[in-house]
Each structure stands twice: as structure tokens, then as C-alpha cells.
DNA sequence: AATAGCAACAACCGCAGTCCC
DNA sequence: AGGGACTGCGGTTGTTGCTAT
């Protein structure tokens, strides 16, 4: 007897999540938690497989997630950790509060890999690619010494401990991270139990279209402020590592 | 203005590890 | 001890937006 598929392939929706699905999932998890991902979609009224729900929650909907690009501190830490741990993205992510393995993996593949290659460093081994005739130019224009130390410390000589970002570095690193306006909307909708939520019937990107246009900028502060004015202040001050999710969320309610 | 190419990232897939009966 | 169920992880793909031509 073969193993049961993780979900019934028939009738299971795939592809981008809609705002309504997000809301259902968030609603369900804050109410019931996620005892068993396999049963979450059924109980939450979603036509998704449990795996997809788990991924959506951990990579996008979790309230303790930071949004936006990794800043320099975080990027540096990722490089350091990658030099020691290799492609163990979940282990690396565990050292960066508010970041997911998927996010870090994506950032590595799209940004850091190129950056290191450009600097003449093999992104896999963290060793110099070859001995150049002339020093490499770093992306910021600084010349890189062509005799890089063997260890990844070549890239970072500052961060040597396998520890999460300190509060100091974290707070300084958060300067470039705005809260996701969309997430604020979803969460505020969930908390306020606003029945006017109605995105049904639109394709996902279109669904989020208007919200997507709220690109990362200081202007978005107006929107965030609006939500805060409704009594929803976000999760910035909550330590999700030490608190039960249900307790935390409920206690953060106005 | 149109479109081809590229970059970014969300999501899927398959496998491995762990748990539990 | 063995096998099924479930979760988590890492690699890969698909879609969308942006930029250059």
C-alpha cells in the first residue's frame, strides 16, 4: 500500500493566494492554531493542501515577519552563516529573526550570489574565484584586496558568533524595513472582523492590485498610520519568540 | 508605444527526517 | 521493529513587474 498523497490532488487549488484565502487562513490560525496542517485547509474552508497552507503562513502571513529587502547587517550575517552552514537555509533563517528560509534563499540566489561573484568570491566555497590581475571593484566602488583570507571572514570580519542579530543591530537594521501595507490590511481586517472584506472573484495579482501599488515608501506611513488610528498598531513591539501566538495576538487586540 | 529580456519572489515539488501506532 | 503519516527543508519553477532597446 503506497503512501497517501499529502493532499487530494483533485479540487485542490494551486497558484498565488488570494486575499480572501489569506484572511481565512489567518483567521483560522489565530483562532485555533495549527494543530495539524493536513486538517487546516478543511477546517479553515480552504481548497488548498496543508503543505501550501503551512508555506503561506510561515513565509508570508506570520505576523512576526519582517518585510522588505535584507539590509546590510542581515546580508552580512547571511554570508557569514552560509560560509559555515552551507545551504541550510532554515538554520540560517533561525539566526535572523523575522526572516524566513525561503526569503533568505531567494535573496541569496538573486542578490548575494551575484554580489560575491562580482567581488571575485565563489558563492559556494566562499573562496576567491581566481587571482585577478587587478583588484576587484566592489559594488560600492571600493577596491577589494585580491588576497582574500580563506575564511568567509574575508567577507565579514565583524560577525563571528553564530548568534541572532543583537537588539542593537536589529533595531538599526530595521530602518529600511517598512511593514507590509497589505499585511496590515489583512491583519487589521481579521482583528476588526470587518465583514466588508470583499475580494472574491478576482485573480490574485489583480486582487491585490490596488494594494500592490502601495509600494515601499515613506508615503505608506500614511496608510500604516491610518491602521494604527483604528487601534491596530502592528506587531513591532511583540516578542513572538517568547510568546504563544494565540496569547500574543489576542493580547495585542485593542 | 511595443516588446524582448531580465530580475525578483511567491509557490510548488520531491525527498528526508521524525513521530506514532 | 516496521511502516504509515506528517512536517520541514532545499531545489526549482512560474508569474509578474521593471528596464532597456
- In this complex, the nucleotide whose C1' atom is nearest to the CA atom of residue A3 is C4
Q: Please enumerate in sequence order all residues whose Cβ is within 8 A of that of A123, keeping only pairs 6 or more positions apart, or say none.
A: A108, A112, A113, A116, A117
Rounded Cα distance, A91 and A189, in Å: 33
Q: What is the pLDDT of residue A128?
A: 80
Rounded Cα distance, A230 and A28, in Å: 22
Q: What is the pLDDT of residue A125?
A: 83
Quick: pLDDT tens for A76-118: 888 888 888 888 888 888 888 888 888 888 888 888 888 888 7
| Spans of all domains in chain A | 19-66+179-252, 72-176
Q: What is the pLDDT of residue A146?
A: 36
Rounded Cα distance, A105 and A173, in Å: 19
Cβ of residue A110 lies below 7 Å from strand C: no
Residue with cell 519568540: A241
Rounded Cα distance, A53 and A42, in Å: 11
Average pLDDT over every residue of A229-247: 36
- In this complex, the nucleotide whose C1' atom is nearest to the CA atom of residue A36 is C6
Who has greater pLDDT, A239 or A186? A186
Given pLDDT bands bounded at 50, 70 and 90, which one contains residue A139?
Answer: very low
pTM: 0.67
Quick: pLDDT tens for A30-45: 888 777 888 888 888 8
Instruction: Using the structure, give the distance in angstroms from the CA atom of A2 to the C1' atom of B7, rounded to a whole number.
Output: 41
List the nucleotides on chain C closer than 7 A to a protein CB: 3-12, 15-18
Whether A203 shows a pLDDT value over 60: the answer reads no
Q: Please enumerate in sequence order all residues whose Cβ is within 8 A of that of A231, keeping only pairs 6 or more positions apart, or say none.
A: A254
Q: What is the pLDDT of residue A254?
A: 37
Q: What is the pLDDT of residue A199?
A: 35
Rounded to 10 degrees, the C-alpha dihedral A140/A141/A144/A150 comes to 20
Instruction: Classify A178 as helix, strand or coil.
Output: coil
CATH number, domain A72-176: 1.10.10.60
Whether A20 shows a pLDDT value over 80: the answer reads yes
Task: Output Rg (C-alpha) for chain A, integer angstroms.
Answer: 21
- What's the angle, vertex CA A67, arms to CA A167 and CA A190, rounded to 5? 110
Instruction: Using the structure, give the distance in angstroms from the CA atom of A147 to the C1' atom of C14, rounded to a whole number.
Output: 41
Quick: pLDDT tens for A144-172: 333 333 333 344 434 444 455 544 444 44
Within A 119-178, residues with CB less than 7 Å from strand C: none
Q: What is the pLDDT of residue A191?
A: 61
Rounded Cα distance, A184 and A100, in Å: 19
Who has greater pLDDT, A131 or A36? A36
User: A53 near A37, Cβ under 8 Å?
Assistant: yes
Amino acid at each position: 500500500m503506497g503512501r497517501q498523497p499529502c493532499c487530494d490532488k483533485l479540487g485542490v487549488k494551486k497558484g498565488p493566494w488570494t486575499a480572501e484565502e489569506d484572511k481565512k487562513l489567518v483567521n483560522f490560525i489565530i483562532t485555533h492554531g495549527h494543530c495539524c496542517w493536513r486538517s487546516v485547509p478543511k477546517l479553515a474552508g480552504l481548497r488548498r493542501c496543508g503543505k501550501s497552507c503551512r508555506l503561506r503562513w510561515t513565509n508570508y502571513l506570520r505576523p512576526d515577519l519582517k518585510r522588505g529587502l535584507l539590509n546590510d547587517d542581515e546580508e552580512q550575517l547571511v554570508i557569514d552563516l552560509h560560509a559555515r552552514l552551507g545551504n541550510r537555509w532554515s538554520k540560517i533563517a533561525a539566526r535572523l529573526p523575522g526572516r524566513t528560509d525561503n526569503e533568505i534563499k531567494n535573496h541569496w540566489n538573486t542578490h548575494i550570489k551575484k554580489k560575491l561573484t562580482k567581488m571575485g568570491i565563489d558563492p559556494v566555497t566562499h573562496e576567491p574565484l581566481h587571482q585577478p590581475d587587478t583588484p576587484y571593484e566592489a559594488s560600492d566602488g571600493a577596491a577589494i584586496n585580491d588576497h582574500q583570507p580563506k575564511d568567509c571572514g574575508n567577507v565579514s570580519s565583524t560577525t563571528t558568533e553564530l548568534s541572532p542579530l543583537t537588539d542593537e543591530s536589529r533595531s538599526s537594521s530595521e530602518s529600511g524595513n517598512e511593514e507590509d501595507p497589505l499585511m496590515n490590511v489583512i491583519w487589521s481586517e481579521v482583528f476588526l472582523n470587518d465583514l466588508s472584506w470583499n475580494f472574491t472573484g478576482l485573480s490574485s495579482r489583480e486582487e491585490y492590485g490596488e494594494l500592490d501599488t502601495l509600494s515601499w515608501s515613506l508615503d505608506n506611513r500614511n496608510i500604516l498610520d491610518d491602521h494604527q488610528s483604528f487601534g491596530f498598531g502592528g506587531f513591532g513591539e511583540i516578542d513572538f519568540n517568547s510568546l504563544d501566538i494565540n496569547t500574543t495576538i489576542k493580547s495585542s487586540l485593542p
